[in-house]
C-alpha cells in the first residue's frame, strides 16, 4: 500500500501546497510507499505565522490543560503502536521486532516523562532582591532526521508544547510519514489551531524555516555538517539553537572486563538500526593482548544476524534507509580497506541473502589506527572499528581523539576503575558496564556532537527564557 498525504497541517487545518510531491521509498525494496507535499517558502511563512498567532494564548493556557492534551496524544500513540511500528520499519528499515520498542515506545515515554516532570520544575526562583522567572521561549522550529523519525519529532515538539511554546515541524523528507500521524493525533486531541504545524519538504524548506525571523528557536537533529550550516544561518537573527549532531563513540573495554558481555553488548549497540544511530559505539577499543580473542567473539556475534525484510518477524538486521546512504556506507568501507584497515567480516558488496534493497552486511575492521578516516569520520551505517591500545592512558587518548563527543561505554570488573576512565572521556553520555539508556537523563553531546540537551528536565529547560524581576 502507498500512504498518500496530500496536505500540510497549518493553523489547525489540512492545507493544500503549491509545491510538488515528494516520494517516500521503502528501505527494503526501493519502491514508492508514500507521497507527501514538497512545502514551499510560502507554506513555511504560513506555518510560522500560525504558530506566532497561537503563542500568546497557548503560553497562557494552564499547565494542567496543556499536559492533559499531551496525555491524549500519549494514549493515542499506544493505541496505534503496531501501525506506527510497521510504517517506520518500512520507511527506515528498522526490524519490526525492535521497531515498536525503539521507534514508538520511546516517543510515548518521552511524553509521559515530560508530563510527570514539568509540574515539579520550579518556574520561579528568589535570588536576593530579584525573582527570576522562566517564560516559554516562543516559536520553535523542530527539524528532524530520518533514523528515529517519530522519536525526534516527539522529543522536541512534546517538550516545547508542554513548556508553552508553539511549534513548526519539518520532518526529514526521507521518512516523513509518522509525523503526519502525529499531526492527526494533535488534531484529534483538540489542540488549539496553530499550536503545532507540519510542513514537509526538502532541504530548502528547512533552510527557509531556520532563517525565518518569526522563529525564536531551532531544535535540530542531523549531521554535524548540517548543524554547522544551521548554526551559521540561525546566528543571523540570533536564534537559540539546540543541535543534536554526529558521533564516533568509543566503547572502551579495559583489560579486566568481562569480554563476552562487553563484546555482546558492544556489537548490539553498534549495529542497532543497521548502525544508523548517532550514539552507536562504532569504535571498540581493546587491549592489544586481547585483540585476537575479541575479533573471534565479534565475528561470532555478527554471524547471528539475519538480514532481510524488516517487516519479517525473523529479521534482526534490516536495510539502510536509502540508496544514497547505502552508497555512502560502501564508500567508507572501501576507503577503510584502502587505508590499510584489516577486514574481519562483511564488506561493501550487496549481501547474497538480500539481492535487492539498500542492504550493507555488518562489517568489522581490525587494527584501525587513530589516523585512519574510519577512526575519525561518522559512517552512520553497520561498520565497527576495532582499535588496539597498550595502556589505560592510551585508551583514554584514543577515546577523545575525534571531533565528536556524543556517547560511549566503559567496561571493567572494577567499577571504580571504569568510573575513573569514564570521567575522563569527553562525551555527553557514557554507559558503565552496559547500563541501559535513561530517558530522564539529559541527552546531547560535547565538542562537535552538538549544543543543548534533549529529554528529561534538562530537555524541558531548553524551551524557556529567563526574566529577572528586580524589586526595590
Q: Which helix (H) or strand (E) holds 206?
A: helix 203-211
Which three three-digit cell numbers place residue 175?
Answer: 521518512
Measured CA to CA, the distance from residue 40 to residue 384 in angstroms comes to 40
Active-site residue identified among 91, 244, 295, 454: 244
Measured CA to CA, the distance from residue 231 to residue 239 in angstroms comes to 9
Place of cell 496524544: 73
Q: Is 112 an annotated catalytic residue? A: no
Q: How would you classify the pairing of strands 407-411 and 250-253? A: parallel
Largest CA distance in the chain: 77
Cα angle for residues 197, 200, 204 (degrees, 5° grid): 115
Measured CA to CA, the distance from residue 402 to residue 431 in angstroms comes to 19
The per-residue DSSP string of 322-345 comes to -HHHHHHHHHHHHHHHHTTPEEEE
User: Cα–chain-centroid distance for residue 185?
Assistant: 22
The per-residue DSSP string of 255-316 comes to TTS-HHHHHHHHHHHHHGGGG--TT---EEEEEGGGHHHHHHHHHHHHTT--BS-TTSTT--
Task: Tell me the HSE value of 420 on the side-chain side, using a 13 A CA sphere.
Answer: 10
Enter the DSSP assignment of 129. Answer: T
Length of the chain measured in residues = 472
Measured CA to CA, the distance from residue 298 to residue 304 in angstroms comes to 10
Catalytic residues: 244
Amino acid at each position: 500500500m502507498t500512504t498518500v498525504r496530500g496536505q500540510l497541517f497549518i493553523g489547525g487545518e489540512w492545507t493544500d501546497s503549491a509545491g510538488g510531491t515528494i516520494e517516500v521509498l521503502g528501505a527494503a525494496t526501493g519502491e514508492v510507499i508514500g507521497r507527501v507535499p514538497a512545502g514551499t517558502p510560502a507554506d513555511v511563512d504560513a506555518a510560522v505565522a500560525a504558530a506566532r498567532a497561537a503563542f500568546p494564548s497557548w503560553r497562557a493556557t494552564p499547565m494542567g490543560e496543556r499536559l492533559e492534551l499531551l496525555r491524549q496524544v500519549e494514549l493515542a500513540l499506544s493505541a496505534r503502536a503496531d501501525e506506527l511500528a510497521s510504517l517506520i520499519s518500512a520507511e527506515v528499515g528498522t526490524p519490526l521486532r525492535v521497531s515498536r520498542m525503539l521507534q514508538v515506545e520511546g516517543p510515548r515515554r518521552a511524553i509521559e516523562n515530560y508530563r510527570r516532570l514539568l509540574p515539579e520544575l520550579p518556574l520561579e526562583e528568589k535570588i536576593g532582591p530579584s525573582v527570576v522567572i522562566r517564560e516559554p521561549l516562543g516559536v520553535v522550529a523542530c527539524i528532524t532526521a530520518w533514523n528515529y523519525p517519530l522519536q525526534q519529532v516527539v522529543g522536541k515538539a512534546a517538550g516545547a508544547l508542554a513548556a508553552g511554546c508553539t511549534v513548526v515541524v519539518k520532518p526529514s523528507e526521507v521518512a516523513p510519514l509518522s509525523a503526519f500521524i502525529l499531526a492527526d493525533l494533535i488534531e484529534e486531541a483538540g489542540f488549539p489551531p496553530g499550536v503545532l504545524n507540519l510542513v514537509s519538504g526538502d532541504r530548502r524548506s528547512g533552510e527557509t524555516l531556520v532563517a525565518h525571523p518569526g522563529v525564536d528557536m531551532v531544535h535540530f537533529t542531523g549531521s554535524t555538517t548540517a548543524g554547522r550550516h544551521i548554526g551559521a544561518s540561525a546566528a543571523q537573527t540570533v536564534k537559540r539553537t539546540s543541535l543534536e549532531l554526529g558521533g564516533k563513540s568509543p566503547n572502551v573495554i579495559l583489560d579486566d572486563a568481562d569480554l563476552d558481555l562487553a563484546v555482546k553488548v558492544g556489537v548490539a549497540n553498534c549495529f542497532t538500526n543497521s548502525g544508523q544511530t548517532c550514539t552507536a559505539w562504532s569504535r571498540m577499543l581493546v587491549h592489544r593482548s586481547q585483540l585476537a580473542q575479541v575479533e573471534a567473539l565479534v565475528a561470532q556475534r555478527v554471524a547471528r544476524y539475519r538480514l532481510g525484510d524488516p517487516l519479517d518477524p525473523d529479521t534482526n538486521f534490516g536495510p539502510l534507509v536509502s540508496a544514497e546512504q547505502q552508497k555512502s556506507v560502501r564508500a567508507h568501507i572501501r576507503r577503510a580497506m584502502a587505508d590499510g584497515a584489516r577486514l574481519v567480516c562483511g564488506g561493501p558488496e550487496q549481501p547474497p541473502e538480500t539481492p535487492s534493497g539498500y542492504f550493507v552486511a555488518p562489517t568489522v575492521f581490525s587494527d584501525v589506527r587513530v589516523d585512519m578516516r574510519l577512526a575519525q569520520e561518522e559512517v552512520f551505517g553497520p561498520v565497527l572499528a576495532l582499535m588496539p591500545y597498550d595502556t589505560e592512558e592510551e585508551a583514554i587518548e584514543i577515546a577523545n581523539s575525534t571531533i565528536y563527543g556524543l556517547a560511549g561505554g566503559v567496561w571493567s570488573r572494577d567499577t571504580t576503575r571504569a568510573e575513573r576512565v569514564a570521567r575522563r572521556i569527553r562525551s555527553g553520555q557514557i554507559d558503565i558496564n552496559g547500563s541501559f539508556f535513561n530517558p530522564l537523563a539529559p541527552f546531547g553531546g560535547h565538542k562537535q556532537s552538538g549544543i543543548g540537551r534533549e529529554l528529561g528536565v534538562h530537555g524541558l529547560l531548553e524551551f524557556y527564557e529567563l526574566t529577572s524581576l528586580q524589586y526595590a
